[in-house]
Amino acid sequence: MPPTTPPIIVDERSNGMIVGIDLGTTNSLVAVMQAGKPILLPNRLGQTLTPSAVSVDENATVLVGAPALARRTTHPLSTATAFKRDMGTTREYQLGKLSFTPQQLSAFVLRSLKQDAESALGIPVTEVVVTVPAYFDESQRRATRDAAEIAGLRAERIINEPTAAAMAYGIHERHREFKAAVIDLGGGTFDVTILEIMEGVIEIQSTAGDSRLGGEDFVAALTEYVADQSGLTGLQSEPILWARLQVAVEQTKRRLSSVPSDRVVLSNFPGPGQSFERIVTRAEAETVFAGLVSRMRTPILRALRDARLRPEDVDEVLLVGGATRMPLVANLATEIFGRLPSRELPPDEAIALGAAVQGALKARDKAVDDVVVTDVAPFSMGIATASETGRRMLHGIFSPIIERGTVIPVSREQSFSTISDRQKVLAIEVYQGEHSLCRDNKKLGAFNVTDLPPRPAGECEVRVRFTYDLNGLLEVEATVADTGAKKSIVLEQTPGRLSEKEIAQARQRMAELKFDPRDSLPNKTTLARAEALHVELTGDARDMLRDYLLRFRAAIESQSTPDIDAAREELNAFMAALSRPRDGLN
């Protein structure tokens, strides 16, 4: 039976509300403020976690969520996961005969969550707060907003995931005063944020992270280790076999959070009649993960340094993100801060709950009228300049205009001058990062300031203003001091950024695609999971599963709802019995 959800009460006069969405690398959730508290909304399966997965079946029908995820071992070339990691890039995913950008794939997930919210609330949902990793750059944030627009949603705010988590904690602890470190290890990204909560005021003091480090990397490292240790080199050239091994290793990694050792077991692997089995211990896995854990330490220490705090100054350590269930994350936090971390809220849920709080703030909900949140810029942002040193002109020097850790929203201005006599054009190249040379930072965009008044070198002044808003979006404006002429950009042409025409085209394409009817989702999900399990089984268990599958398919063809529901429950119960976690091996 699906989990029960508190009843949703909606003001009949309301035409909509601002919901919060955690658009995750592995799973996504939607939440809303209800009776002064944030609650999660269930999907069509009665679950709060919707896998961030998209698959295309043989009929070119798009599957989203659980049925898509279940197909990743049987149809890996037609299934996409972890596409959030490519937001803000020009990569395309080929799924069968169809191709999609990361924004389009994310839009499918957002569309599914929008429909779930509308079903739960009984009203249209058009406004949303979407969370992103704190270390998402400007192009990734804009790509996230594009995805929302494609899905028919207006992203009222784009907020950092640790900030959202802090809001979820802060709404319960609004009358306390304490400093906290939020450690957020999700499926694809890692963030750490230092904040202070003071009687409803949540003040972000610093943030740091790694946008290419997450639970997926731990799975990949352990999969490669198991393959190497088992003589399965070259298996990556076999997509189905590699996908099956990855899923089995991922399940073992999760079980190792609660048991000292576990078996990776696969039947008919790599060929019919063959099987694969390997014992992996938690100690063994943690040795494999040592390099990844080391990468987590650096942002934690940087965030403390930027906040001008010592580890002992932090009162609480909050763990957020499903990957923080690994004991090594808690061990690292305890080692650095000298205290056990808190898991007051389920790590998978805190971010979505906080996004709902932000939605309530945006909607001026009286339940949060005493909550105030400040945030900071996660990166330094500036322009490329040149400097004469020892009769040599050095180009490509990074000159920050907004330093990381600056409270946002913010607008800062600096003056620059020409380097040549009678210079007519000044190139403004915008970068973000912390390195002294632009080539080591990320370029966000560029534009030219033309028709400069003819002046000797150094005497034509141009003022450059950076304006960075609460959504993490940057506007750059250049003003010629002598003439007052201005030119500005909102960095519309960053990689992966879609124009209004492209967004409209993506919406039209979505409207033309075939999506599985929502009523068929429970059946499609059960069938996909059963097919994936059938591949792994042998002998009597496989024969019994096949019998349950045949009865379920026959019930579907009969179109008798009671028969379908009964057969689906029987099949799910049988699969649950087969898939119960095994005890650890000592």
Q: Give the tens place of pLDDT for each residue, 50-67.
A: 999 999 998 899 999 999
d(CA 104, CA 83): 10
SS3 131: strand
d(CA 463, CA 479): 5
Output the CA–CA distances (angstroms, integers) from residue 73 to 279, 308, 433, 441, 504, in the order listed. 21, 47, 38, 38, 34
Which of the listed residues 458, 484, 510 is the one where a domain comes to its end? 484
Our CA angle for 100, 512, 506, nearest 5°, is: 45
Give per-residue pLDDT as tens, 364-405: 888 787 778 888 888 899 999 998 776 788 899 999 999 998
546 and 469 share a domain?
A: no
472 and 540 share a domain?
A: no
Residue 282 in any domain: the answer is no
Give per-residue pLDDT as tens, 439-489: 999 888 888 998 899 899 888 999 999 999 887 778 899 999 989 888 877
Residue 122 in any domain: the answer is no
Segment 186-196 mean pLDDT? 91
- pLDDT confidence of residue 578: 80
534 and 471 share a domain?
A: no
Residue 550 in any domain: the answer is yes
Residue 584 has pLDDT above 70, yes or no: no
Does residue 210 have an active-site annotation?
no
Catalytic-labelled residue, pool 86, 146, 161, 210: 161
Domain of residue 451: give its range.
381-484
Q: Give every CB contact of residue 156 below 8 A, 6+ residues apart in sequence.
A: 18, 127, 128, 129, 359, 362
Residue 552 in any domain: the answer is yes
Residue 10 has pLDDT above 70, yes or no: no
Catalytic-labelled residue, pool 22, 196, 224, 375: 22
Residue 3 has pLDDT above 80, yes or no: no
CATH at residue 423: 2.60.34.10
Does residue 184 have an active-site annotation?
yes
Residue 518 has pLDDT above 80, yes or no: no
d(CA 485, CA 200): 44
Higher pLDDT, 8 or 78: 78
The radius of gyration computed from the CA coordinates of the chain, to the nearest angstrom, equals: 26
Residue with tokens 């890996």: 76
396 and 476 share a domain?
A: yes
Segment 320-348 mean pLDDT? 92
Residue 496 has pLDDT above 50, yes or no: yes
Segment 164-169 mean pLDDT? 87
Residue 334 has pLDDT above 70, yes or no: yes
524 and 457 share a domain?
A: no
Residue 377 token pair = 């810029």
Which of the listed residues 442, 466, 484 is the one where a domain comes to its end? 484
Higher pLDDT, 537 or 25: 25
Residue 298 in any domain: the answer is no
Directed axis angle between helix 561-578 and helix 539-558, to 10°?
Answer: 160
465 and 544 share a domain?
A: no
SS3 389: strand
- pLDDT confidence of residue 8: 52
Q: What is the mean pLDDT of the chain?
A: 87
Give per-residue pLDDT as tens, 91-104: 999 998 999 999 99
Does residue 362 have an active-site annotation?
no
Q: In what order do the strands lie in the sheet with 61-64?
A: 79-81, 53-56, 61-64, 514-515
Q: 39-43, 166-170, 216-220: which has the minimum mean pLDDT?
A: 166-170
473 and 530 share a domain?
A: no
d(CA 113, CA 119): 10
Residue 160 in any domain: the answer is no
Catalytic-labelled residue, pool 84, 114, 253, 524: 84
Q: 2-6, 186-190, 239-243, 534-538: which has the minimum mean pLDDT?
A: 2-6
Segment 131-152 mean pLDDT? 90
Which of the listed residues 463, 484, 505 is the one where a domain comes to its end? 484
Looking only at Cα atoms, what is the longest distance across the chain? Answer: 88
Element (H, E) at 464: strand 461-468
- Is residue 338 very low, low, confident or very high in pLDDT (cuts 50, 70, 90)? very high
Residue 582 has pLDDT above 70, yes or no: no
Catalytic-labelled residue, pool 86, 116, 146, 184: 184
Residue 39 has pLDDT above 90, yes or no: yes
Q: What count of other Cβ atoms lies within 10 Å of the Cβ of residue 7? A: 8
Number of structural domains found in the chain: 2
Residue 395 in any domain: the answer is yes
- pLDDT confidence of residue 495: 52
- pLDDT confidence of residue 9: 47
Give per-residue pLDDT as tens, 256-273: 999 999 999 888 887 766
Residue 5 has pLDDT above 70, yes or no: no
- pLDDT confidence of residue 214: 94
475 and 528 share a domain?
A: no
Residue 431 in any domain: the answer is yes
Question: pLDDT over 90 for what percent of the chain?
Answer: 53
Q: Which residues does residue 476 pair with via DSSP β-bridges, in sequence order?
A: 466, 489
